A = this chain, B = another copy of it.
């Protein structure tokens, strides 16, 4: 009989990940605050849970994929909580990008119930999630990691183990997002510089597209001014940059590039662009170069 796995959080990342677990042969119990988002999976056989605690089976496994630190904490500390429901021998696979500090705090809280907290933040956009091409950074107790190994294999193309400290995987994940944000800003600056020197953004993007698929993707978004619908919301990007800066402050590590990104993203928020794709910071770059918002807009 199929092993049952609980899954909480069926957004544009969570749903395709859950679907890949289902395809790999796991029986799913699913929960999402907005219930309608569970419809597709339920149609394919997933059992809908009335509340988060209901997705858990004693000693079983629950995945969560939620928006931010607060959402993960709320669901873990809810009454009744799925953590308590998992109970001794249970395992929580936490896929969200949250702060290392929160991950450590949660791991301690889980220990009280005998539940292993497996930090498992993932790299990849929704399309990569759908294609089971995520890269998974994993950290936590060895036994728990061993247990969920085949599941992580089912959702990604590679798993990187960063040891027992649950915070470690989150540091790596945040570092990755920092690198992507830096890439977005660099591309935005170079495309505007080109534009002010008579080179169309499309022509520049074509060259840059040769460097890597990562560069191609962002350069095209900026060149085409295609900021909606958001692949990754600018406001969520700022959340991650802030987590990077907090982690840097706590470890006494000056990161001037992260500071620069913070200020760029914050300006974009102030200009009302939090719901656009984060490549929309290019509008701020353009405005500072005197290219009026009217012209800069998509």
- Listed in ascending order, the chain A residues whose CB lies under 8 Å from chain B are 100, 123, 135, 137, 158, 160, 162-163, 165, 167-168, 171-172, 175-176, 178-179, 182-183, 185-187, 189-190, 192-194, 196-199, 203-204, 206-208, 210-215, 242, 244, 247-249, 251-260, 262-264, 266-267, 269-272, 284, 287-290
Structural contact, B179 and A289, CB atoms closer than 8 A: no
Question: A179-B190, A203-B160 are known contacts. Are A290 and B262 too (CB-CB below 8 A)?
Answer: no
Instruction: Pick the contact of A207: B176, B178, B183 (CB < 8 A).
Output: B176
A136 nearest CB across to chain B (Å): 10
Question: A199-B172, A254-B266 are known contacts. Are A207 and B289 too (CB-CB below 8 A)?
Answer: no
List 24 interface pairs A-B (beta carbons < 8 Å), by A numbering.
Answer: A158-B210, A167-B197, A168-B199, A171-B199, A175-B193, A178-B186, A178-B189, A179-B183, A182-B182, A182-B183, A185-B257, A193-B244, A196-B253, A212-B213, A242-B249, A252-B269, A254-B263, A254-B270, A257-B260, A259-B263, A267-B288, A267-B290, A270-B290, A287-B287
